[in-house]
Amino acid sequence: MGQVLSEEKPAPLSHEELVKELANIFADKCFTSLELYSLKQVFKSLAHHEQRVGYLKEGTIAKYLKVPDILGISPVLFQMASYIAAFPFLEDAPAVLGLEQMVIVITLMTDRYRRVLGKGAADKTKLLFKSLAVYDRKFSKSAVDTHSGSSNAREQIENDGQGLDNDELVLAAFDALGHVNPDKLQNMPATHGPMIPGDNFRKFIMLLLLVAPLDPQDSLDSDPDRVTGAGLQSLRTAAESILAAFLDVERNPGVEYLRFSKVIAGCLPFLFQGLAPLFEHFLFSEELDFHKGKDGTSRSPTMPPEPKQPLLQDTGSIMNASILSQMSFFIPGSLLFRRLRLLYAGDEDGFSMGSFEAKVFNWKTPTILLVSGTRLLDESDHHSNGSAPAFWASLPPRRFSRGSSGEAERLTFGVYVPEPWKLTHRECFGGEETILFQLEPIHDLFRASSLNKDYVSFTRPSASTSHAGVSFGCPPPRPSQAYRRSGMIPLGPVSLMLDSSFEFGCFTHDYASKGGAFQTSMIREYNFQERFEIGSVEVWGCGGDEEAKHQAERWAWEAREAEARRRINLGTGDIEADRALLEMAGLVGSNRSGGSMA
């Protein structure tokens, strides 16, 4: 009998070979031929060569993407890209940024990987955290030392990295390769409390605020005002508020994974969406001229490109580009960028419910109310007038402390209202898409619940109404013997209340109650209350030119009707009689109060 030769098993592929194969899969499934050509041209123009091997050096990515130097983000971006470039063999990070590695980075950063990897691998939160984190025992020790009064602080931090194991995105990549048994791989090094340094994350948040409104071919240097003067200050303020949701910088030097994933899921679900158009810049080569004819000669385009509308059509004392970007982290940017119209501003239209109603009630699409003011610390703390004692007396006795630490006294709250505004009689309006949120000095979100439907209330002052004003999460005004006797305003468990003169406001978070019309905070699991003197109130309409046109037509119609009524009532030609009639109505002269609409 002849001897049967045994089949030799092929040698397993190396990590480098598998990474190259994954890059080929991504290139084939996730890019067009034109995009690949553009990427190769861009890489060729940027790459540094050593022994005939091309790669990107630190600073190249930030420079090409035109990231402002003032952010100081270049080392952080390079660390992130070098880590993701090792995917799926993350234990090999940092990786050299060659062409194949850049294909992997761009595929992951632009979410194109969804076309290849399984649906269960849709979330890249773990990957982004690991790409920004450090694994330094000394860094972790300083975090333990700052956890005052916690006997299990070290155990908490040492175990915090455990949630990073079994990354579904990595497992899906191995499944797509079909070469490796992922159970035998260890993609996470032995960690000692991986954390994102607070200063690095602050810079990264500022970058995310800048890129939030970007389209793929928009340039970061197209609006220099955002990184100079007042624009830079508002960018830093928004970044500090968001960072405060992740950590207390006075007690903890870095962001841990459990907190990172919790805050993003609960308060900032769209935080990283701006990274996709940013990294798509690598797919548009400036060397390509789409206006060349077949013979290679240049020709003029038939129509010049239309200039882009500004992010904000109007200006406000609260709203700015950074606030707009901050809201886009939990409200879809398609409803916000270049879509908002200023309907009402207390600074210009008067702090009265009458002005508010006249300006806001005819807008038929969603609106966003913003209110900012100065924190009142106790009953003796009233800054500008003597109305504060009456306001304090109208509220139930204070039981909760303030909601955030630090010296910041400015508070900013907001509400996304999905329905048109209307007067409240027996029931509130709003719906389950209503969102109550805080923007400053800490970012927080309170989504609508189904426990009750006391979402939005707008109640005019009247003889039959004991408590008027605008409220969110508070019971609508009803005849209540208890509150009539006490004279106190009924506050909801999670609620924002503005008094009828728009002088004072109160935000309440009764965590022990488990919420009411709005859910309790996912990041502040304690009771708190903020009482403040209002500085500004604004309402912005979400909609485009068509909605603004309808609103303008409605305002024009109301103006014509008011003029017609004026001519009918005051058409006598007797100026003294007309003036006396206006004074009796309290519209002119010393009798006019300028207060809320009765």
User: What pLDDT does 487 receive?
Assistant: 66
Long-range residue pairs from 232-237, CB within 8 A, at least 24 positions apart, any chain: 232/70, 234/320, 234/321, 234/322, 234/323, 235/206, 235/209, 235/210, 235/322, 236/206, 237/322, 237/440
User: What pLDDT does 309 receive?
Assistant: 81
Contact 45, 282 (CB under 8 A): no
Contact 307, 334 (CB under 8 A): no
Domain boundaries along the sequence of the chain: 15-283, 339-545
Inter-helix orientation angle 198-211/125-132, to 10°: 130
Strand partners, 437: 414, 445
Strand partners, 507: 496, 530
User: What pLDDT does 579 receive?
Assistant: 61
What the block records as the tokens of 233 is 């200050």
3-state secondary structure of 269: coil
**CA–CA dist 352, 346 (Å, integer):** 8
One-letter amino acid of 326: Q
**CA–CA dist 284, 277 (Å, integer):** 11
How many CB atoms lie under 10 A from the CB of residue 337? 20
DSSP alpha helix (H) spans, 123-272 = 125-132, 137-146, 153-159, 168-177, 198-211, 229-246, 257-267
One-letter amino acid of 375: R
Q: Is the peptide bond before 88 cis (omega within 30 degrees of 0)?
A: yes
Please provide the distance, in angstroms rounded to a whole number, between the alpha carbons at the two ends of the chain. Answer: 110
3-state secondary structure of 332: coil
Placement of tokens 């090792």 in the chain: 86
Look at residues 10, 11, 21 and name the one whose alpha carbon lies nearest to residue 174.
21
Strand partners, 342: 540
Placement of tokens 């590695």 in the chain: 101
Angstrom distances, CA of residue 257 to CA of 133, 233, 394, 467, 565: 9, 28, 43, 45, 64
Query: What are the pLDDT tens digits along the chain (598 aa)?
Result: 455 555 566 667 788 989 999 999 999 999 999 999 999 999 999 999 988 889 999 999 999 999 999 999 999 999 999 999 999 999 999 999 999 999 999 999 999 998 888 665 567 899 999 999 998 665 555 554 554 444 444 444 444 444 565 677 888 888 888 765 555 554 544 445 799 999 999 999 999 999 999 988 888 988 899 999 999 999 999 999 999 999 986 778 899 999 999 999 999 999 999 999 999 999 988 776 544 444 444 444 444 455 678 889 888 999 999 999 999 999 999 999 999 999 999 999 999 999 999 999 989 999 999 999 999 876 655 455 567 778 888 888 877 888 887 667 899 999 999 999 999 888 899 999 999 999 999 999 999 998 899 999 999 887 666 678 999 999 887 654 444 445 678 899 999 999 999 999 999 999 998 889 999 999 999 999 999 999 999 999 998 666 656 666 665 666 666 666 666 555 555 666 666 555 555 455 544 444 444 4
Look at residues 124, 100, 94, 101 and name the one whose alpha carbon lies nearest to residue 112.
124
Contact 144, 157 (CB under 8 A): yes
User: What pLDDT does 589 receive?
Assistant: 52
User: What pLDDT does 144 receive?
Assistant: 47
User: What pLDDT does 135 receive?
Assistant: 82
Q: Which residues, including other chains, have CB under 8 Å from residue 266's CB and lie 6 or more apart?
A: 445, 522, 523
**CA–CA dist 523, 504 (Å, integer):** 26
Residue 54: is it exposed, middle or buried by C-beta count within 10 angstroms (0-12/13-18/19+)?
middle
**DSSP secondary structure letters along 72-97:** --HHHHHHHHHHHTTTT-GGG-S---
Contact 429, 454 (CB under 8 A): no
3-state secondary structure of 431: coil
Look at residues 460, 486, 463 and name the one whose alpha carbon lies nearest to residue 476.
460
Q: In whole angstroms, what separates CA 404 from the centre of its chain?
A: 19
One-letter amino acid of 68: P
The four Cα atoms 295, 298, 304, 306 give a dihedral, to 10 degrees, of 90
**CA–CA dist 135, 496 (Å, integer):** 42
DSSP alpha helix (H) spans, 468-596 = 481-486, 545-569, 575-584
Residue 481: is it exposed, middle or buried by C-beta count within 10 angstroms (0-12/13-18/19+)?
exposed
Long-range residue pairs from 402-406, CB within 8 A, at least 24 positions apart, any chain: 402/375, 402/377, 402/528, 402/529, 402/530, 403/438, 403/442, 403/507, 403/509, 403/524, 403/528, 403/529, 403/530, 404/244, 404/441, 404/442, 405/248, 405/250, 406/244, 406/250, 406/441
Q: Is the Cα torsion angle 241, 243, 246, 249 positive or negative in sign?
A: negative
**CA–CA dist 526, 520 (Å, integer):** 9
Contact 132, 197 (CB under 8 A): no
Strand partners, 429: 456
Q: Which residues, including other chains, have CB under 8 Å from residue 308's CB and lie 6 or more apart?
A: 218, 338
